[in-house]
Amino acid sequence: MGNSIKGYVHSVETLGAVDGPGLRFVLFLQGCPLRCKFCHNPDTWRFEGGEETTVDEMVRKILRYKTYIRSGGVTISGGEPLRQAEFVLALTRALHNEGIHVAIDTSGIYCDGTALEAALEADLILLDIKAFDLSKAKALTGSTTEHAWSLLRARQEAGKPVWIRHVLVPGITLIDRKRSLDSSSEDCPFEDEEEWRAANTELLEGLKSLNGYSCIERIDLLPFHKMGEFKYEELHLPYDLKETEEPDEQVIEWAEKALREIREN
C-alpha cells in the first residue's frame, strides 16, 4: 500500500453496532477543539498523546476484521477526526480500495480544505448538531454550529448521505420539566404531551429545519447520560452537568414521536 501518513489513535472498538449501519470497526482519534459539557470522552480532548500509527498499519489491522464488518464497515470518530484530516482522507481512500464502507463521525468544526475533502470522500457522515440555537451551542460546547450547517450543505450539494445526531440535555437542548417560578419550589413534570410540546418549540422547529435536506437519511435523538462522569474526576476536570439528571423516558418518547411526525410530513 505504501502510505506512511501518520495519525494518532485514542482507542478502537472492533465490533461496534451503533456508529453507522451494520457491524463496524470504530476508530477513535485523539484530539478535539470542542469542550462539550455532555462529552463522555474528555480523555480524547488533548491534542497530545494517542498511539501513533500509519495509514498502512491501520488498514492492515482493520483487514483482520473484514469478514466481520462486511455488513457495515469502518467509522472514524474521536475526539474530532477531521482535525487529522490528511490521515483521515488517506485512510478513507485506502479503505475504499479494499471495498470497505467508511463513515466519519464529526461535529463539522473543520469544514474546509483537506477536512472538507475527507468529509466528502466518506460514504456517510454522522453529523453532530450540538444545539439548534447558535448562542446556546457556543455556551454548551465552546463553538457555534455554523460549521456543522456548512458541512451539511456541502453533503447536500454532493448528494451524499448524512445521519444527524442530537443530544437531548435536560434544561439546555431539551425542556423536560415545568420550571417553577418560585425558587424555593422544585420543578415538576409536564401534565401531558401538548404541554411539553409548547415548552420545546426550539427543539421542534430545529428538527423541522432539517426536513429541507434530502441527504439526511436518519436523525438520532440521543438522551444525555452520565456514563463518562468518572473520567472528569480522574482527569481533575470540572463536570458542569453534575447536577443534571438524565431525561425521563416519557419525555424521550414524546420527542421521538414528534420527530417521526416531522419526518413524515
In this structure, what C-alpha cell is assigned to residue 115? Answer: 477536512
What's residue 185's pLDDT? 62
Statement: residue 1 has pLDDT above 60: no
Residue type present at position 153: R
Extents of the domains making up the chain: 6-264
- CA distance readout (Å), 63 to 10, 16, 95, 97: 19, 15, 9, 12
Q: What is the C-alpha to C-alpha distance for residues 236 and 238, in angstroms, rounded to an integer?
A: 7
- pLDDT-derived band at 181, boundaries 50, 70, 90: low
Please work out, in degrees rounded to the nearest 5, the angle formed at the alpha carbon of residue 66 by the alpha carbons of 22 and 108: 55
Identify the residue with better confidence: 2 or 198. Answer: 198
Regarding pTM above 0.85, the answer is yes
pLDDT confidence tier of residue 207, bands split at 50, 70 and 90:
very high
Q: Which residues pair with 106 in a beta bridge?
A: 127
User: Does the pLDDT at position 223 exceed 90?
Assistant: yes
Degrees to nearest 5, angle at CA 17 with 110 and 28: 35
Task: Specify the CATH class of 6-264 in words.
Answer: alpha beta
Summarize pLDDT for 140-149 with one digit per residue, the tens: 999 999 999 9
Count of residues for the chain? 265
Task: Please compute the mean of the pLDDT values over residues 181-195 and round it to a whole number.
Answer: 79
**What local confidence, expressed as pLDDT, does residue 2 receive?**
66
- Residue 103 CA to residue 124 CA, distance in Å, equals 5
Cα–Cα distances in Å, from 249 out to 18, 129, 165, 204, 239?
20, 22, 18, 18, 24
The pairing of strands 6-16 and 51-54 is antiparallel
Query: Considering the chain, what is the average pLDDT of its residues?
Result: 94
pLDDT score of 183: 60
Span 7-24, pLDDT tens digits: 999 999 999 999 999 999
Q: What is the mean pLDDT of residues 91-108?
A: 98
Could you read off the pLDDT of 142-173 as tens digits, one per residue? Answer: 999 999 999 999 999 999 999 999 999 999 99
- Residues 35-81 have pLDDT tens digits of 999 999 999 999 988 999 999 999 999 999 999 999 999 999 999 99
Mean pLDDT, to the nearest integer, of 98-121? 97
Query: CA nearest 156: which of 215, 103, 212?
Result: 215
What is the DSSP track for 64-92? TTTTTTTTSEEEEESS-GGGGHHHHHHHH
Q: Is the pLDDT of residue 248 over 80?
A: yes
Query: Exposed, middle or buried, 151 (CB in 10 Å: 0-12/13-18/19+)?
Result: buried
Q: Measured in whole angstroms, how far is the alpha carbon of residue 14 from the centre of its chain?
A: 19
